[in-house]
Amino acid sequence: MQGIEMVLLKGNTVVVEVVVSFVVFIFLNLVQVYGEIPTTLEGPSKPVTVQLDKSFRGNAIDLPETDPRVQRKVVGFEPEQISVSLSSTHDSVWISWITGDFQIGDNIKPLDPKTVDSVILFGKSKFFLNHKVKGHSLIYSQLYPFQGLQNYTSGIIHHVRLTGLQPYTVYYYRCGDPSLPAMSKIHQFRTMPASGPSSYPRRIAVAGDLGLTYNTTSTINHMMNNDPDLILLVGDVSYANLYLTNGTGADCYSCSFSNTPIHETYQPRWDFWGRFMEPLVSKVPIMVVEGNHEIEEQAGNMTFAAYRSRFAFPSKESGSSSPFYYSFNAGGIHFVMLAAYAAYDKSADQYKWLEKDLAKVDRTVTPWLIATWHAPWYTTYIAHYREAECMKVAMEEILYKNGVDIVFNGHVHAYERSNRVYNYTLDPCGPVHIAVGDGGNREKMAIKHVDEPENCPDPSTTPDTYMGGFCAYNFTSGPAAGKFCWDQQPDYSAYRESSFGHGILEVKNETHALWTWHRNQDMYNAPGDQIYIVRQPERCPVEHKVSFAAYSHY
């Protein structure tokens, strides 16, 4: 108090100087935090293309079945392929695992799920697992009605939901069947923070199109060094469908196996992937959305059997009737996981569910709204260019009107970040679209861009036959007026680079989130691309559309 009285005795001049000094101090701290990293507040970035680093060829070769990281290490009905995923809110998670080995061949006999219980013992201390909960189990098969193709049946897949959990708390658990006995060792996970405008996971890792190559191992090693609280996998998981049922694989299935009667898959690649990922996803929750490589057609026109069976989804908890689309909260973030490979028009169940889900979002509780699906709407690579146009036409408006902040996609095997965009037009209230289909799968990187000479595809070749019809249209203004492609890198494309890697999202508060993309060939702490994504809720209220004129000074 004496110090304050002395300052006041010296008059108003000193008081003003103190106030100015305090403001300068705050400003310098803000500069230290935000100053060296660009933000979306500075307006649309000038398009940047980083050419392919030819010294980095990558190693897009699948791990062989003999690699110790993919071999079965348990015996009998001991659990393996253990993973954690989130429920719709912080107080619940799912634990999944497999017991018993798969079978593949002509004379397979599915295991009986009723023979092994699905039990979790858990608690806040590894020495006192005082809670017990049971779940459900299932098996799935991949069957082919063609002579010479080998059928597959899985081990017993278990899913158990834990409820009544406290926010941002470490829990220890064992899974299995204690009556056999066949229990796992003790694992641990941390719950998400409670939803609120000041409560966020530390780091969220985002990756797509992983596969199981030596590049994948590099991506996962980098990801583990970045110590995430949550993993988003934006489709294309194991790439089992790059293999025939006899285990023969290829970088391009249609190129190498064009005469097969059905698109075959080698389902053990799923088990290899689950074993490789267990050290990470048994402690860090992973949330998955389906990609085209999960379609996996089999007898009876059944599709997505492995995807539906192997992962636990908070579909029921979030009011969805499908594992293909669901939502969940992670602190002050509401995630909407959408399906590019399920019906999405306004009469479809997915669209109706999306309307209801978005209507319930309270932005005072979860200020950030992030959407995810597999095939990107905004990409400038030849690979999959405007392939998801029908989905974009059907759903872009509702996402824009509800103020989605960020969109994550995969599918294109490269990295690309957009400026804020809506309907191909720069818009300060549009989301930032980020494609991270660069996880490392064996199909290798996308390199060519559509705006380069003679690279623009024939529009009739771009739609995905599984996703719907032809919805593309020519542009009426701008550099691509009257054309299907731009003549230069579009202004919506802020940064693009052909390299393997993953991203880390760090939401700092209700307006600022740091996005960092890490390349596999760099050191763990070296960003390939980095920007602060800044929300402006006063400027961009929900259900409010800003005209292009208002964007002129952005």
Query: Exposed/middle/buried for 289, CB within 10 Å: 0-12, 13-18, 19+?
Result: buried
Q: From start to end of 146-280, where are the E strands? A: 151-153, 156-162, 170-177, 182-183, 187-190, 204-207, 230-233
Helical (H) or strand (E) element with 389: helix 389-401
Query: Residue with structure tokens 């319930």?
Result: 360
Between CA 294 and CA 241 the distance in angstroms is 8
Residues 6+ apart with CB under 8 A from 113: 137, 138, 139, 156
Between CA 408 and CA 49 the distance in angstroms is 19
Between CA 173 and CA 119 the distance in angstroms is 10
Strand partners, 315: none
Q: Which residues does the annotation mark as catalytic?
A: 384
CB 384 within 8 A of CB 443: no
Between CA 100 and CA 158 the distance in angstroms is 11
CB 285 within 8 A of CB 84: yes
CB 167 within 8 A of CB 287: no
Strand partners, 426: 421
Could you tell me whether strands 48-50 and 493-497 are parallel, antiparallel, or unpaired per DSSP bridges? parallel
- Cβ atoms < 10 Å from Cβ of 484: 17
Whether omega before 457 lies within 30 degrees of 0, making that bond cis, reads no
Between CA 68 and CA 201 the distance in angstroms is 33
The backbone torsions φ and ψ at residue 508, rounded to the nearest 5 degrees and listed phi first, read -85, -40
CB 108 within 8 A of CB 101: no
Which residue, among 377, 478, 467, has the nearest Cα to 425 in the 3D structure?
478
Query: Exposed/middle/buried for 361, CB within 10 Å: 0-12, 13-18, 19+?
Result: middle
